[in-house]
Chain A
Amino acid sequence: MSKVTNIIVAGLGGQGVLKGTDILADVALRAGYDVKKSEIKGMSQRGGSVTGDVRFGKHVFSPMVSAGEADFLLVLEPTQVEPHRYMLRPNGVLITPDAVSASQLPNKKTLNVALLGALSAHLPMTEEQWLAALRAGFAETFFEGNQKAFLIGREGQKAKG
């Protein structure tokens, strides 16, 4: 993959947007890519919009995804889909909470990781690399629930093809 892959994760403060981009960037690093991650988090804890950009490839320059250039847009909150749709490139992939069935998740806090699971079905990193990044990103007590959520998202997306 010589082209840079552009991903945007969007949601509201407190939803785990930045945790999601942490794990995404870590798994790309583990897979040997050059990675850049950019976030605006000054007011993230006050319920406002939060977005994180992750770019990976052979060599990445700007840390920011340009408008209309996102290959993937992952949105954790339905109201945040429209405000961020302009970032997606034509034929880019939009992943929303609909990608997983909420009732299956261990708890609603794991939605960010479940959607990463759905995203993972489109990306070249291996399941082992993803699980290693999850293990590094969460305390032992939270790992199991997040692993479960991740696999629910991943299998669900694969089933859809």
Chain B
Amino acid sequence: MNESNRLLLSGDEAIALAARHAGVALGAGYPGTPSTEILEHFSELGGHAQWSPNEKVALEVTIGAAFGGARALCTMKHVGLNVASDPLFTAAYTGVSGALIVVSADDPGMASSQNEQDNRRYAVAAGLPMLEPSDSQEAYDFMFAAIEISERWQIPVLFRVTTRVCHSYTVVQPRATHEAPKAASFERDIRGRVMIPAYARPAHRRLRKKLAEMQAWNEASPLNHIVQGGQSLGIITSGISFMHVREAAPEARVLKLGFTHPLPMDKIAQFVKGVSRCVVIEEGDPYLVDAIRAAGIPVEGKADMYRFGELDVPRVQRILANDLSPEPIKPPGKPPQLCDACQYRVVFEALRKHDCIVAGDIGCYTLGVLQPFEAMDSCVCMGASLGVGLGLRHVLPPDQARRVVSVIGDSTFMHSGISGLVEMVYNPPPTGHVLIILDNSTTAMTGHQEHPGTGRTLAHEPTNKVVLEDLARSLGIRRVYVIEPRMGTGEFDRLLTECLESNELAVIITRRPCILIAKQLKQYEDQRCECDAAQPATASAP
């Protein structure tokens, strides 16, 4: 191994580097742990990367790029794929002309997520090929394989990673040479790309044919390999679990699957025949074990208690030993909290004082649920604060309904709060409603990414800016206020009281830049001013 060529990269960085080396023309996504660093790194490497308002838009943008014959990369966290699932399912039918790699970064154990859904299910549900790397070298290598598969079968590829692959740093040896992709160019294919029922019916058949071909190809694919070992124990595994398995049972024979949909069932059957006991080790849902058993192949799975949380070496040892005894409980660490100087503290103190029923959302401000505030009553998914708050207003008795408030951050509002605001205008509750947009001028929780409301691109360059208060007023809402909650004494409290008592629709935008990046924000703003003076933004041109 050439020593100078060894890099220590996170899985996210390895994906970005491969995308750059493979000539990916466009990367789009929405920030979300543990996926965020992929596009940031791709941009730092000189790639064209964009934050979209949400994952659905990001996927649509990259579908367009891939329709144009380019290689495109779309990144998101697992719950982001729920948002993007509408285009995902039909893009499986249309296929693509170039390449489209959709990265789903799952979070088993919920290091920073609201659920631990297993997105391998999406590959089956949508009918897409799926690759699962186990470390950064594979994340790098599998990206090239994914592009090859995408271009060969003209289909999007689901690239499924997990927190421990994304955020673990392992040694990567990149390729020495890179072939440039063919140039983007539009080729008309109306029957292939316009999914009216008459064209979608044959498209579905084409998809199933592609999947059958891919399954046959996968039987001999180098993306799956066998680690030789004794005959007494065989293990079938994929992703990060493979690494735990190698350490927990070094003597076992292992079938390591990298191309995990459609599964190479003949290869699996052959492997199982060669060992006296075969156990499937997988994190999360029983995806592999169910599929393998459904094919009539006898394998053992894990006990239900291991479905929760991440696997590690001791847990794999327990699964292999059929150990059902209670697991040791880890001592709790110190939970995160809102920063001392955070504007949200003032907001949550007021909400608590007024005994508001708070429909919350996803971001730093979700920490308002913890002590000393405990001023949040729901948190479901990105943008849900609006719908949930409105639903409560519609059914609760008036004395309770008047205390319902929706609270959402600026980036989350851009992501999926706007359609909720339209709902508020369209179906106003009899008691009105109060929406608080906590505007700290960044996507703070995921590490301070830009969004359409900051007026800066992913690379922090000036661009057109969506102004929250203008947007709210344009929908016909009369009560729209912008306030700096830490200024003055009790002003936010008085405004909140007035809005709650008004029985009208109200939007309160609390605006104060996140304390953690106040310095950077000032720098960006200074650059913006210089830029504005030099050239007017395109959106404001007549």
Chain B 284-324, CB-CB to A under 8 Å as 1, else 0, gives: 00000000000000000000000000001110000000000
Question: How far does the alpha carbon of A12 sit from the alpha carbon of B337 in the complex, in Å?
Answer: 12
A67 at interface by CB-CB < 8 Å? yes
Question: How far does the alpha carbon of A55 sit from the alpha carbon of B168 in the complex, in Å?
Answer: 11
Q: A29-B8, A46-B339 are in contact. Are A38 and B334 (CB under 8 A)?
A: no
CB pair B313–A39 under 8 Å, yes or no, is no
Interface centre among A51, A60, A62, A66 (most CB of B within 10 A): A62
Question: How far does the alpha carbon of A25 sit from the alpha carbon of B313 in the complex, in Å?
Answer: 21
A63 at interface by CB-CB < 8 Å? yes
Question: How far does the alpha carbon of A35 sit from the alpha carbon of B136 in the complex, in Å?
Answer: 12
CB pair A46–B337 under 8 Å, yes or no, is yes
- Within A40-70, which residues are at the interface with B (CB < 8 Å)? 40-43, 45-49, 51, 60-64, 66-67
Interface centre among B33, B333, B367, B516 (most CB of A within 10 A): B333
B256 to chain A minimum Cβ distance, whole angstroms, is 12
**Segment among B58-66, B89-97, B199-207, B239-247 that sits at the interface with chain A:** B239-247
Q: How many residues of B contact A (CB 8 A)?
A: 39
Closest to A21 in B: B169
Q: A40-B111, A66-B313, A83-B333 are in contact. Are A35 and B169 (CB under 8 A)?
A: yes
**Chain A residues within an 8 Å CB radius of B336:** 13, 43, 46-48
CB-contact partner of B243 in A26, A46, A63, under 8 A = A63
CB pair B338–A29 under 8 Å, yes or no, is no
Q: A25-B169, A86-B331 are in contact. Are A62 and B337 (CB under 8 A)?
A: no
CB-contact partner of B331 in A41, A62, A82, under 8 A = A82
B465 at interface by CB-CB < 8 Å? no
B171 at interface by CB-CB < 8 Å? yes
A154 at interface by CB-CB < 8 Å? no
A141 to chain B minimum Cβ distance, whole angstroms, is 16
Q: A35-B170, A40-B163 are in contact. Are A25 and B8 (CB under 8 A)?
A: yes
Q: A25-B169, A32-B3, A47-B336 are in contact. Are A38 and B164 (CB under 8 A)?
A: yes
**Chain A residues within an 8 Å CB radius of B445:** 42-43
Chain B 344-379, CB-CB to A under 8 Å as 1, else 0, gives: 000000000000000000001001000000000000
A34 at interface by CB-CB < 8 Å? yes
Chain A 12-38, CB-CB to B under 8 Å as 1, else 0, gives: 110000000000011001001011111
Q: How many residues of A contact B (CB 8 A)?
A: 35
CB pair B330–A66 under 8 Å, yes or no, is no
Question: How far does the alpha carbon of A39 sit from the alpha carbon of B328 in the complex, in Å?
Answer: 21
**Chain B residues within an 8 Å CB radius of A39:** 167-168
**Chain B residues within an 8 Å CB radius of A60:** 170
CB pair B333–A63 under 8 Å, yes or no, is no
Q: A35-B171, A43-B336 are in contact. Are A67 and B328 (CB under 8 A)?
A: yes
CB pair A62–B313 under 8 Å, yes or no, is yes
Q: A62-B244, A63-B243 are in contact. Are A46 and B171 (CB under 8 A)?
A: no
Can you list 12 A-B contacts (CB < 8 A)? A26-B8, A29-B8, A35-B169, A37-B170, A39-B167, A41-B167, A43-B112, A43-B445, A45-B516, A46-B364, A61-B244, A86-B330
Report, nearest first, the 9 A-B pairs whose CB atoms are least far apart: A42-B112, A49-B333, A46-B336, A48-B336, A63-B168, A43-B336, A37-B169, A61-B246, A38-B168
20 additional A-B residue pairs with CB within 8 Å, beyond A25-B8, A86-B330:
A12-B334, A13-B336, A26-B8, A32-B3, A34-B171, A35-B170, A40-B111, A42-B111, A42-B445, A43-B336, A46-B336, A47-B336, A48-B333, A62-B244, A62-B312, A63-B169, A66-B313, A83-B334, A86-B328, A86-B331
B residues neighboring A (CB under 8 Å): 3, 6, 8, 33-34, 111-112, 135, 163-164, 167-171, 240, 243-244, 246-247, 312-314, 328, 330-339, 364, 367, 445, 447, 516
